[in-house]
A and B are shown apart, each in its own frame.
Chain A
Amino acid sequence: MTDVDIRLRVNGVPRRATVPPRLTLADFLRTDCGLTGTHLGCEHGVCGACTVLLDGEAVRACLVFAVQADGAEVTTVEGLTPPGGGLSAVQTAFRDHHALQCGFCTPGLVVSVTAFLAEHPRPTDEEIREALSGNLCRCTGYQGIVDAVRAAAERGDAV
C-alpha cells in the first residue's frame, strides 16, 4: 500500500512525515512524534483517552487517520502546558480536586475539558456531566472531575 506524505503542526511544531494510510493519528502522535501522553484505552472511539485537538476541536485520535490530519494543527496534552512550564488552569484544577488517580484517562479528559470550556465558559453541573460523558474514568467515580471542571470554569481563565 502506498505511503502518503503529510505536513502538519503538532503542538506548534511543523512536522513532515511519510505514513501508511492506515496509521491512526493516535499512533502517529505516540510512535512517530514520541508524544505518549495521548493514550489508547479502546481504539474504537468510546473511552476518550486519546482525545486531542484537531484544528481546535476535540476529536478521538483513534478515529482519525494521520493522513486526514494533513495540513492541520494538532494539540496534544503535552501542548496544553503553559510555555514557561507548570500546569494549565484545567490541569491545576484537576490536581486541586483529586480529579485523577491512575492518570490513564487524564490526558483525554484534560484535552476534552479544555475544548469544552472554550465553548461553554459558564456551564451548569448538568452540562459538565454531559460534556464529560464522552470520557471514561475507572478510578475517580467522576466526583473530583466534575468539581475540577466547575472550579476551572469559575476561575474563568481555563483556556
Chain B
Amino acid sequence: MAPPPEQKAPVGRYTGTRVPRVEDARLLTGAGTYVDDVVRPGMLHACFVRSPVARARFGAVDVSRALRLPGVHAVLTAHDLNPGVHEQWYSLNGRDDPDTPRPPLAEDEVRFVGDPVAMVVADDRYIAEDAAELVVVDYEPLPPVVDYAVALQSPESVHASHPGNLVGQLAGRPMADLGPVFDNAPHVVSRTLHQQAHGPVPLETRGIVAEWTAAPGEMTVWASSQAPHEVRSFCARLLAVDENRVRVVVRDTGGGFGQKVMPQREEMCVMLAAVRLPAALKWIEDRQEHLLAAGQARHEHGEVRMAFDDDGRILAATLDHVQDAGAYPTPSPVRSGIAVGLLFPGPYRIPEGTFSSRFVFSNTSGRVAYRGPWQFESMAREVVLDAAARRLGIDPVELRRRNMLRHEDLPTVNCHGMPYDHITPYETFEQALEMLDYPAFRREQEHARAEGRLLGVGTCTYVEPTAGATPFHSTEGATIRVEPSGKVSVHVAGGSCGNSLETTVVQLTADALGAAIEDVGTVQGDTAVTPFGGGTGGSRSGSMTAGAVAETAAGLRARILAIAAHRLEVSVDDVEFVRSRATVKGRPEHGLTLAEIADIAYFQVHALPPDLPAGLEASGRYRTPHPMIWANATHVCTCEVDPRTGAVKLLRYIVSEDCGPMINPSVVEGQIYGGTVQGIGGALYEHLAHDDDGNPLATTFMDYLLPTATEVPVIELGHVETHGPGPGGHKGVGEGGAIGSAPAVVNAVADALAPFGAEITRLPLTPATVVGLLERSGAVAV
C-alpha cells in the first residue's frame, strides 16, 4: 500500500536495518548498571514490614526490639514518614485528575496482604530483614473485600472515602438505547468472560537509591524506571524540593512493561526517609515483595452482547465491563480504563454499540499499567466473536471476513468515536491465515478429531492507538552535540528497559545527520543532562524519538553543510554529507570529515560562515500533532489439548503486524516476541490468585508461572507496511504483542474443545480448568 508521497520516510542507511544493539556489549559481559549495582558511601538498606492480613485496623507499632538490634538505624512508621508528603500526583495524569488514596505507609488500617506498615533502615538487607521480624503490630482483622466482582454490593469499604468501593465509572450511550436493535436482531450472542489477575513481572524487581545532600538541599535518586523525568518531578513535588535540585539517574532497567512508569508507595517512603538519613538509602524489592505488592493488572470481567443478522453481519455490540483496582492503584485506573470500552469495537464494522466501565476497589494489591492496559477489549470481543461463529454455524474466519474493516472503509470512526486511519487489519488477517494455510489446518484438525485428538485454531485481530498525545506524552526533546572531535552525542530522556532505545536513537541520529553510526553515541536516563521527556510507555518511543531527533538534527545538519560549503567554497546545494564526510557533488575526493568540520565550529570560529553560531550543538522538541497513531496486527495460533491432563500445547504461532516502516527489524521482532509470550503466559500460566481471606497464593516463582523456553512455540512473523502519519511513518510496536496473543490462545483452546460444546468463561486456562470444561461438557468422565 503506497503512502502519499509527502509521508514517505526519508531513505535512511541505518533506519530499517538490523543494526547490532549498542546496549549489548555491556549487558552481555555483566557490565550493565542496574539500580542494585549502585553503591554509595555509607549506604543504608531498607526493608518493609508488611501486613500479613488483607484488612485490619492496627494501633501503635512497637519498634523497640527492632531498634535495639545492632546495625539498625531507624524503624519508621506512617507517623514518621507520611506527614512529609508535600504534594503527591503523577505528571502523566496531571495535578487535577481525580486520584485514589496513596499514603506512603499504611495508617491505622492495612488494606491488602503486603501493605507496607513500617520501614526498617539498617546496615545491610540481612539485618534489615532480621529487624523487620522484630517489629510488633497488633492487627484487629476486619472483613476483607477480596473479590472485586462483588465489591459493589459489599457492606464493607476498602476506603471509607469510597463507600460501595466504586473508584469511578464511565459509559457510552445508555444500554437501553440499543434495546430495539437487540430485540429485533435475528441472532444475539451474549457471554460474560472473567480474566484473572496477573501482571508485568519484570525480571528485575523494583528498586531505588535515594541520597540527600542536606547543605545545598539536593536529592539524587538512582531508580529502576521507565520514566526518569516522571520520577524527578514526582520526587520534587513530594518533598517540596525545587525540580532542578533533584537528579534522577537510570542507567539500565531490567524490564518494565508498564510496571515502572511511575514511582509507587515504597519509592515514596525511600525518598521521604532519605532526607532524614545521613547517607544514601537503598531499597531493592525482593521477588516475594514484588508478587505481593508491586501490583496486578488484567483483572476484570465483562458481559458482551452482540447482535447479528442472518448473514452474520454485526448489527450492534455492547460491553458491560468491571475492573479490579485493588486497594492502591497506580495511578487511578479510570482514565486508562476507559480505553477498554472505546476500543472494544476493534477492527470491525459495528454500526451501533455502547459500553459501561466500572472500576472497583478490593483488598488486594493495586492495579498497575501492563503492556496494552486495555487488552480486555480484544479478549472480550474476539472470544465472543468465536462463540458467535459457533452459534451461527459460520466458520470464525468467515464471520470475521464479513465484518472486518477493509481498505475501502478507511478512514472511519468506530461507533464510540475512535477515528481509525492508516491501518490494515484485513491485510494482516489474510496474511496470517495464509502463513498458516488455514484450510489445510482445518483438514488436519478433522483428521485429528477422527482419531480423538483435540486440535484448535484461534485468531485475534486488533487495532491499537500508539504514541498517544496526552499532555505529558505529547512532546519529546533531543539535544545533539557534535563534539570537538567530530563524535556525536545525542541526549534524550530515555527510560529504556529492554526496548533498545539507545540503538534506536543512534540509528535515527546517524541517518538524520548523515553521520557514520560508529561516530554516534547516546546519553539517556540522567535527568541532569537530558532534556525532559515522558519516558517509555504507550508505545511512543519509536515515533516520538524519531520526531525529536528529526526536529533537532535538521538544523544541525544544515549548519554542518554550511560550514563545509564555506570551507570548500561551493554552494550548500553542492555539498553531500554522508557517513560523517562532506564532499562536493561529483568530486568525492574533495571533502571534509565531520571531525574537521567540528574543529572549525569550535576552534576556528573566524572561519565559520557569517551569521553561523560557533559550536555544533542543537536542542529541539517535537510536538506531535496526532492524537494517536494507529497500529494493528493479527495473531493466529494453533494448539493441541490433551484430554487426559488438560495440557495445552501450542503448535504454531503466527503474528502479522503493521507498525509502519521498521527502524530496526530485530528490535521490532523482539518486541512482538516478548509481548506475545507475555500474552501466552496470561492465557495459560500466570495467576496472582487469592484465597477467600485475601491471602495471595502465588508469592514465589514456584507458583507464579512465567513461561519458559519449553512452553513457548516458535513464533512466525509477517509484516504489512503502511506508513503512519507521524515521523518516518513509524508506528508504535511495544505493546501490541501482549494484546493480541492471549485472545488468540484462548480461541484456539475454545476451538479445540468446540466439539463438546465447552465454552470458556474463566481464565487462565490451566490444565485443571481445561479438564473441568471437558468434564462439565460430558466429553470425559468426571
Contacts and interface: CB of A to CB of B under 8 A. Distances in A.
A and B touch in the complex (CB under 8 A): yes
Interface of A: 20, 22-23, 30, 35-44, 46-47, 49, 76-78, 80-81, 87, 91, 94-96, 98, 100-107, 110, 128-130, 132-146
B286 A43 contact: yes
Contacts of A130: 709-710
B701 A102 contact: no
A137 B431 CA distance: 29
Given A139-B674, A141-B673, A44 B28 contact: no
Contacts of A30: 36-37
Contacts of B201: 138
B203 A137 contact: yes
B140 to A, nearest CB: 32
Interface stretch (B248-256, B328-336, B403-411): B248-256
Interface string B3-43: 00000000000000000110111111111111011000000
Given A43-B286, A91-B28, A141-B674, 9 more contacts: A39-B36, A39-B254, A47-B701, A98-B670, A103-B26, A103-B32, A138-B202, A139-B674, A146-B709
Nearest to B257: A138
Interface hub of A35, A100, A137, A138 (most chain B Cβ within 10 A):
A138
Contacts of B29: 37, 77-78, 80-81, 87, 91
A87 B669 contact: no
A139 B702 CA distance: 20
Contact of A106 (B28, B500, B669): B28
A22 B29 CA distance: 28
B676 to A, nearest CB: 6
B708 interface: yes
B34 A104 contact: yes
Contacts, number: 170
B30 A37 contact: yes
A24 B253 CA distance: 23
A144 B204 CA distance: 20
B249 to A, nearest CB: 16
A41 B204 contact: yes
B136 interface: no
Contact of B20 (A35, A76, A96, A145): A96
Nearest to A79: B30
A64 B500 CA distance: 33
A40 to B, nearest CB: 7
Contact of B673 (A81, A129, A143): A143
B715 interface: yes
A13 B31 CA distance: 18
Interface hub of B21, B24, B700, B709 (most chain A Cβ within 10 A):
B709
A139 B34 contact: no
B582 to A, nearest CB: 32
A146 to B, nearest CB: 6
A140 B257 CA distance: 12
B497 interface: yes
B30 A143 contact: no
B287 interface: yes
Contacts of A80: 29
A43 B673 CA distance: 26
B16 to A, nearest CB: 15
A83 to B, nearest CB: 13
A101 B706 CA distance: 17
25 contacts: A37-B31, A39-B34, A39-B203, A39-B204, A41-B204, A41-B287, A46-B701, A87-B28, A91-B28, A94-B24, A98-B667, A102-B203, A102-B253, A102-B255, A105-B254, A132-B708, A133-B708, A133-B709, A133-B710, A136-B701, A138-B201, A139-B498, A142-B673, A142-B708, A143-B670
Given A39-B34, A41-B204, A103-B27, A95 B674 contact: no
A132 B497 CA distance: 22
Contacts of A35: 30
A95 B701 contact: no
Nearest to A35: B30
Interface in B284-298: 284, 286-287
Contacts of A38: 30
**9 interchain residue pairs of minimum CB distance:** A37-B30, A104-B254, A102-B498, A103-B27, A141-B673, A101-B498, A141-B677, A46-B701, A132-B709
Nearest to B716: A143
A94 B55 CA distance: 47
A100 B22 CA distance: 12
A148 to B, nearest CB: 10
Interface string B694-711: 000000111000101110
A110 B30 CA distance: 10
Contacts of B701: 42, 44, 46-47, 136
Nearest to B254: A104
A104 B669 contact: no
By size class, the interface of chain B is 35 or more
A77 B26 CA distance: 11
Contacts of B666: 98, 144
Nearest to B255: A102
A107 B254 CA distance: 12
B633 to A, nearest CB: 15
Given A22-B126, A104-B204, A142-B709, A110 B28 contact: yes
Interface in B472-514: 497-500
Given A39-B204, A102-B202, A136 B715 contact: no
Contacts of A106: 27-28
Given A104-B255, A136-B706, A145-B709, A98 B21 contact: yes
B678 interface: yes
Nearest to A134: B708
A39 B252 CA distance: 12
B768 to A, nearest CB: 21
A39 B536 CA distance: 23
Nearest to B202: A138
Contacts of A47: 203, 287, 701
Contact of A138 (B678, B700, B702): B678
B529 interface: no
A141 B498 contact: no
A108 to B, nearest CB: 9
B176 to A, nearest CB: 44
Contacts of A22: 126
B742 to A, nearest CB: 14
Contact of B677 (A23, A81, A142): A142
Contact of A103 (B20, B498, B709): B498
Nearest to B33: A36
B255 A139 contact: yes
Contacts of A135: 708-709
B714 interface: yes
Contacts of A46: 700-702
B754 interface: no
B712 interface: yes
B673 A144 contact: yes
Interface in B401-422: none
A23 B205 CA distance: 20
Contacts of B24: 94-95, 100, 103
Contacts of A23: 126
A142 B712 contact: yes
Given A44-B700, A138-B257, A95 B667 contact: no
A44 B287 contact: yes
Given A138-B203, A141-B712, A103 B23 contact: yes
Contacts of B714: 143
Given A81-B29, A95-B21, A103-B498, A43 B287 contact: yes
Interface string B556-582: 000000000000000000000000000
A44 B203 contact: no
Contacts of B710: 129-130, 132-133
Given A133-B708, A136-B203, A103 B126 contact: no
